[in-house]
């Protein structure tokens, strides 16, 4: 006689998945069409069929330890061909949202980022913080003369804030990712590559995964939703470009003493890279938003988490570019005001990274590395 297994469904988990955009999961009747049409699904124990039944049964622990929910790139081929309209792509996206909030630290931040009623509080915190710092240091005024943002918000005020925030983000992500990796190692796909040295692990699994991510090759395997490739590529490389610019400027100020060179001339290579990055970011976000507003059977359901993230990113890029334009046309009040708004939005994007859609980039990378490490993708 086969062994019996007692299943204890987590009904609260099912409700959360439905609330995060997976309300169609109950329509699935396990026909396996989704797993058949998915070009990314492995032949052995393919997804998303098993994830759909686990979600229906409320098997939270199985899903949170399953790297397959992150191997899905939400191209929605499965949703287009599903005969029941169960939309497995949206269900897996909802589980991913639950997953990174579950592993994040501190966990209450995930709740704050997932509900729109807390948005004023999340935006209000950096506004009050920056206003307080400007007030106590005597900079709560519009400087006279040439527009130089350093005169309005000096580096000795803003840089320590972002350095401390970055340290908090790094610690939070480290804790969350450690929990995530431990969960996957205890899941249905245990490691098949134990005993590797750190060097072999990086060479065999980390580097190939990062190369694949840089190339965005997984998106090209999708059928019905390939238009997402260009938008993701633009956003990915624009963030990379802007990160390089930030790093170069920071190094120049604090290690080379080149603060007197700010603001950079328009022909400066660093400035050119920054402007190209901002334009690419605006273009990518425009494509994403345009595609979300279209009526298309291949389109994913956009939730609050999706919209608030892409809009904040969009506003960061627009406010950054507007800050430069208004400075060049010499309108001090407008330039300093937009710059302040830009700093608030950048704070939001960085400080809340471990608890927002931004965290997808980290968790998906870790899951892909684990999939390679465990032999899941072979």
Give the DSSP letter string of 35-67: HHH-SSS-SSS-TTHHHHHHHHHT-HHHHHT-T
Contact 36, 83 (CB under 8 A): no
pLDDT at 111 over 90: no
Which of 339, 238, 328, 231 is closest to 279 using CA atoms?
238
Average pLDDT, the chain: 89
Say how many Å lie between the first and final Cα of the chain, rounded.
34
pLDDT band at 280 (very low <50, low <70, confident <90, very high): very high
Which of 269, 270, 288, 271 is closest to 323 using CA atoms?
271
Report in angstroms the alpha-carbon separations of 266 from 151, 152, 248. 20, 21, 16
The two structure tokens encoding residue 131 = 């206003």
The Cα 327–Cα 340 span in angstroms is 13
Question: pLDDT (tens digit, 9 = 90+) per residue, 53-93?
Answer: 999 999 999 999 999 999 988 888 888 899 999 999 999 99
pLDDT band at 307 (very low <50, low <70, confident <90, very high): very high
According to the model, what pLDDT value does residue 322 have? 95
DSSP reduced 3-state for 206: helix
Q: Decide: pTM greater than 0.75.
A: yes
Question: pLDDT (tens digit, 9 = 90+) per residue, 236-251?
Answer: 999 999 999 999 988 8
According to the model, what pLDDT value does residue 40 have? 87
Question: pLDDT (tens digit, 9 = 90+) per residue, 309-351?
Answer: 999 999 999 999 999 999 999 999 999 999 999 999 999 999 9
According to the model, what pLDDT value does residue 275 have? 93
Distance of CA 186 to the CA centre of its chain: 25
Half-sphere exposure of 194 (CA within 13 A, CB side): 5
Q: What is the 3-state secondary structure (H, E, C) of 106-134?
A: CCHHHHHHHCHHHHHHHHHHHHHHHHHHH
Q: Which domains does the chain have, with CATH numbers?
A: 11-103 (1.10.1060.10), 108-373 (no CATH)
The Cα 151–Cα 154 span in angstroms is 6
According to the model, what pLDDT value does residue 261 have? 75
């Amino acid at each position: 006689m086969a062994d019996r297994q007692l299943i204890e469904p987590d009904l609260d988990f099912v409700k959360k998945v439905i609330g995060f955009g997976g309300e169609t999961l109950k329509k699935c009747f396990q026909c396996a069409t989704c797993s058949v049409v998915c070009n990314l699904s492995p032949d052995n124990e393919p997804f998303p069929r098993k994830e759909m039944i686990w979600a229906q049964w409320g098997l939270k622990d199985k899903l949170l330890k399953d790297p397959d929910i992150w191997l899905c790139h939400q191209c929605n081929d499965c949703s287009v061909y599903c005969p029941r309209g169960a939309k497995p792509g949206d269900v897996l996206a909802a589980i991913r949202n639950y997953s990174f909030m579950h592993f994040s630290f501190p966990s209450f931040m995930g709740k704050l980022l997932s509900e729109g009623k807390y948005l004023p509080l999340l935006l209000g915190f950096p506004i009050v913080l920056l206003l307080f710092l400007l007030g106590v240091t005597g900079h709560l005024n519009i400087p006279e003369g040439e527009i130089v943002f350093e005169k309005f918000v000096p580096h000795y005020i803003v840089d320590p804030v972002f350095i401390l925030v970055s340290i908090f983000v790094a610690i939070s992500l480290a804790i969350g990712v450690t929990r995530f990796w431990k969960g996957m190692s205890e899941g249905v796909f245990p490691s098949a590559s134990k005993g590797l040295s750190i060097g072999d692990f990086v060479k065999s699994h980390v580097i190939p995964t990062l190369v694949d991510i840089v190339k965005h090759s997984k998106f090209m395997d999708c059928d019905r939703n390939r238009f997402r490739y260009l938008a993701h590529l633009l956003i990915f490389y624009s963030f990379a470009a802007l990160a390089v610019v930030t790093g170069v400027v920071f190094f120049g100020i604090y290690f080379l003493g080149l603060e007197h060179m700010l603001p950079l001339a328009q022909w400066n290579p660093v400035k050119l890279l920054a402007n190209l990055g901002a334009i690419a970011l605006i273009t990518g976000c425009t494509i994403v938003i345009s595609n979300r507003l279209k009526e298309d059977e291949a389109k994913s359901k956009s939730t609050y988490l999706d919209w608030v993230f892409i809009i904040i990113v969009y506003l960061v890029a627009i406010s950054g570019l507007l800050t430069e334009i208004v400075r060049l046309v010499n309108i001090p009040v407008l330039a300093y005001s937009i710059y302040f708004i830009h700093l608030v939005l950048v704070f939001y994007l960085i400080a809340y990274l471990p608890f927002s859609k931004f965290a997808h980039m980290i968790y998906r990378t870790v899951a892909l590395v684990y999939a390679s490490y465990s032999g899941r993708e072979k």
